[in-house]
Structure 1
Amino acid sequence: MDNQKLTATQLTILHYLYRFRFLTSLQLQKLLSHKNIRLTNYHLQLLTSKNYLGKHYTRSLGLANLPAVYFLTSASIQALEDQDGIDKRALKRIYREKIRSQQFISHTSFLAEYYLFLRNESEKSKHNLHFFTKTDLLAHPYILHPLPDAYFARVDLAGITKRYFVEIVEDSSPRFALRKRVQEYCDYIDDGKFEEATSHPFPAILFICPGIGSLIYLKKHLARIYEETSIDQIDIYLATREGAFSGSWEKVEAEDE
């Protein structure tokens, strides 16, 4: 199977994995809008057999087998390097994908699940969704570095656009790292780079926390510094991972006197 013989569906699979890094077969089925998982698996098996893809899978005694998680391998580089929208800096990391940590894989897989949720919700509400992963954002040098996990914009039927940065917090994130990330956003707001480059107002920030403990800490920290920093100029919302899907967002406001 050389590059010329890759089907449109197979190239689309490579593109999704380029953007999201790690995806399960079930996520790819949804992304491709396949009615039957067997069709998705057919393409995945062909791509894996020709070393375009690698996969991790978990089999645990007493537990149902989890869906395989797929990632790009070295043969995919040649297939992708001349495609539109591909950043060659991102292709170099493909050599290291097979040794990524389980936390990293879970992190990227969660982002894909959140994207699927947003896509479904946008279709139901007739919003246009524009979603950029961290890989997509490499092409936009005015975006905050280190890059957010995602940036997306939703346009409603009246043409009103709402924009968001997404930050996924990990259980292992130390508190000083959370404070540092908040400060990076404060500095980014102050320099006005986003507004200058896009002519759009600064996006709201969505912090998605692993549990209620990190959410409470982050909310208290943000409230404490709210009126002393630039974050009082923007909207910031917090939710647990479960809350992000149920719409249980908490807006950050100044600390009560």
Structure 2
Amino acid sequence: MGHQFTRAHLLLVLIIASAVASRAHKLKSATFLSPELVLAPGSVTNTFHYNVDFPTGHIGIKSFHVEPVDSSGRPIPLYDTYLHHWALNRYVIPKGGSKSSSSSSDGDSANFVRNDGICQGNILGQHYGSGSETRRTATFLPDPYAIEIGNPEEGFEERWMLGIHAIDTRGVVDGQGCRECFCELYNVTIGGGYDGGLKCCEDGDQCRVKLGFQGRKRSVYLRYTVKWVDWVDGEFLPVKVFIADVTDTGERDMTETTGCQV
């Protein structure tokens, strides 16, 4: 009787161990590079790249990690190139649309599939993203949780857009001021008491560089690593993504002065 009890427990342990090992083997990983970003000292890029490389199929995302790197794949320190913010947005287009990589034409037909947050329209609708603090932020979702993707409505295909806002702070007169987009440091003029913010560090804007500083243009990429599992109904629990905004007025009349102000 005792031997049977022990054997039964041993068999149960082996079954559990086998199931855990089987689940662990389902975890997949791939690393991709964003399109090239060319930056000179003090320059700003704020660009949107459609149809970026991403795992396909009905899957569950377990983690998403980004790292700014140079053309040799070396991580770039934030005091050289500041990752102001980035965003990974999901969208769908009718099947048979543009096949080109990072096609900007997707923007004309893209129907964004926002997260479950409460901001209006497509504001803060990304599934992953935010500022430079995400560089070391753990995003791994333990079993049985995952973000379910890759199951669009019939007649549509799913794609991804990567938005990247980076500021090259090599040789600038005020690194913190450039990172915080103080208008007086940039080659823009905005009235109405607007002293700093996104409007002063848009794509193509320039932060003031120290007189006589010489620095070459360089290529920068956002390297992103995705870990995922093949989705199996009943085996994983779908995670919903919510992004809140401290500037949210709480009103929803679809004007620029209400709702999330980021």
- TM-score normalised by the shorter chain: which range applies? under 0.3
Higher strand share: 2
Higher helix share: 1
Instruction: Using structure 1 for the length normalisation, give the TM-score.
Output: 0.21
Instruction: Using structure 2 for the length normalisation, give the TM-score.
Output: 0.20
Specify the structure having the higher radius of gyration (Cα): 2
